[in-house]
Amino acid sequence: MNDFQQFIASILLWAEGFAAMTGLFYYNRIKKEHWKFFVFYLVFIFICEAIGKWANFIYFPKALFYNYFVIPVQFIFFYWLFAAKSLKKPKLFYILSILYLISYIISELYFSKKKIVFSFNYTFGCLLLMFLVAMEYYKQVNSTDILNFSRNRMFYISLGITISYIGTLPFFALYDQLYKYQGLWNIYFDYFLLGNVVMYILFSSSFIWGRQSS
């Protein structure tokens, strides 16, 4: 990474920590709601990123840590939050989670295992998440409470995921091809880092401005 990317990567860790701390600050107000699990998720992500940044991975490759633990937890959690909780479609959550996990079988058979992020699994997971985000936007647009969207916690979360996960889908889908063109790859990587910073700021905003009963 160049100096700018290293700086943004440091900011990203702070943004993740800030989102976790914001969630913990509001925890007492939401501890009887499913949103308490969003707080646990943010704390989990911050701890995992801290481990990824500072831990020694000599005996356990970082690629395995992220691809087989951190990233699956991220996608499955958001499938649960969107499908089971916001859209009230628990069966859809199970279907998408199973499809996502099946993608690992395909990845094991046909794709490289040396990357920090497996392109196929990430791309497929993003496509499923994009489907859920589109359904969530449709739900919000057709809601009688559309004028109060700024108080809808899922609005901030959906926007953050759109900017980060969905916005960076081409970067990971075409990672090998883009890597041959370092100038273009750096632009996408800059967006990936900045998009993640914005996402965690929006996650923090969801606690501050979102309705506690959302």
Close Cβ partners of 70 (under 8 Å, ≥ 6 residues apart): 45, 48, 52
Burial of 171 (0-12, 13-18, 19+ CB in 10 A): buried
pLDDT at 213: 45
Residues of the chain with pLDDT under 50: 213-214
pLDDT at residue 59 in the model = 62
pLDDT at 47: 94
**In Å, what is the CA distance from 118 to each residue of 63, 87, 202?**
8, 28, 26
pLDDT at position 116 is 55
pLDDT, residue 151, reads: 86
Give the global pTM.
0.91
What is residue 58's predicted lDDT score, i.e. its pLDDT?
A: 52
